[in-house]
């Protein structure tokens, strides 16, 4: 149940029926190379939220994905917006508060943007109510992406974290109409073992003139659908265990995003 499409009596009725849980997806508004739109991560978060909700038996009240996140490492490129962790936490907290006031007792937090993961963990750790579960392990998240990509025939490099073959494949599955041509686009390959620390200190533009980490060559929609499904499975299993929710058989779902169309 998308909260953005419900009236307040419908929200109250959903909670009154019992067992409803809340889902707060977060994204970003940042550069994604010359071929993916600035809203990419928020669009992925919306797609994944729907897929997660369908994998859990209990009814889910889903917030719209926060469209701006912690993206200071991308500000070397035009169009990127970013907020401080304090403001990000306040925005996430406002959504959690809304769910709590409605009577929702279990809330899950996740991000489709790497810069938000640690903050979500701190937000969940700082609150005692409602019962919160945050997926805060960005390395596990990217690892799940990479494993699913390899199983689908892709060959992601060690730095394929941003607008490379993994995310470009996901975009081709979820919102193909807004993906620009990426032939000849080159990104950073991860030659420096300390590239993540360098990125954190100096920004993505210190590593990649295109803004891409990885290489989008070979991206395809079929692999993207498999990656999205694997991420939805990973997140749904995490939240089911953390919040005592029940999994149901994985559905077949169209991953195309309304935000991207």
User: Would the pTM of this model clear 0.85, i.e. be above it?
Assistant: yes
| Closest alpha carbon to 58 in 90, 18, 88, 26 | 18
Average pLDDT, integer, range 204-220: 96
Average pLDDT, integer, range 190-203: 92
Q: Give pLDDT, residue 9.
A: 97
- Contact between 27 and 44 under an 8 Å Cβ cutoff? The reply is yes
Torsion sign across C-alpha atoms 141, 145, 147, 148: positive
Q: Give pLDDT, residue 31.
A: 98
Q: Give pLDDT, residue 250.
A: 54
Q: Give pLDDT, residue 129.
A: 86
Question: Which one of 1.10.287.1080, 3.40.470.10, 3.30.300.30, 3.40.50.10310 gives the CATH number of domain 3-243?
Answer: 3.40.50.10310
- CB count, 10 Å around CB of 38? 20
1 CB burial (10 A radius; 0-12, 13-18, 19+): middle
| Closest alpha carbon to 23 in 64, 55, 70 | 64
Q: Give pLDDT, residue 128.
A: 87
- Contact between 56 and 107 under an 8 Å Cβ cutoff? The reply is no
Taking the CA atoms of the chain, what radius of gyration do you get in angstroms?
18
Model confidence pLDDT, tens digit, residues 48-96: 999 999 999 999 999 999 999 999 999 999 999 999 999 999 999 999 9
Residue 257 has pLDDT above 70, yes or no: no
Domain boundaries, the chain: 3-243
Kindly report the average pLDDT of the chain as a whole number: 94
Model confidence pLDDT, tens digit, residues 104-141: 999 999 999 999 999 999 999 999 889 999 999 999 99
* Cα-based torsion angle of the residue sequence 155, 55, 2, 17 in order, rounded to the nearest 10 degrees: -170
């Amino acid at each position: 149940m998308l909260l953005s499409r419900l009236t307040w009596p419908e929200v109250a009725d959903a909670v009154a029926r019992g067992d409803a849980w809340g889902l707060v997806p977060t994204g970003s508004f940042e550069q994604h190379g010359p071929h993916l739109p600035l809203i990419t991560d928020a669009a992925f978060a919306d797609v994944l939220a729907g897929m997660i909700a369908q994998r859990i038996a209990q009814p889910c009240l889903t917030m719209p994905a926060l469209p701006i996140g912690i993206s200071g490492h991308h500000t070397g490129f035009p169009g990127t917006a970013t907020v401080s962790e304090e403001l990000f936490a306040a925005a996430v907290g406002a959504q959690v508060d809304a769910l709590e006031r409605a009577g929702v007792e279990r809330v899950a937090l996740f991000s489709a943007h790497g810069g938000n993961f640690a903050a979500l963990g701190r937000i969940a750790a700082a609150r005692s109510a409602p019962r919160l579960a945050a997926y805060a392990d960005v390395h596990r998240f990217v690892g799940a992406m990479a494993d699913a990509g390899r199983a689908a025939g892709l060959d992601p490099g060690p730095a394929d974290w941003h607008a490379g073959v993994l995310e470009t494949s996901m975009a081709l599955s979820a919102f193909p109409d807004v993906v620009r041509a990426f032939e000849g686009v080159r990104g950073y390959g991860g030659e420096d073992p300390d590239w993540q620390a360098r990125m954190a200190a100096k920004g993505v533009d210190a590593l990649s003139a295109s803004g891409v980490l990885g290489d989008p060559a070979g991206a395809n929609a079929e692999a993207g659908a498999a990656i999205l499904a694997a991420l939805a499975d990973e997140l749904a299993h995490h939240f089911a265990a953390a919040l005592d929710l029940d999994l149901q058989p994985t559905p077949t779902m169209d991953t195309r995003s309304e935000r991207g169309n």
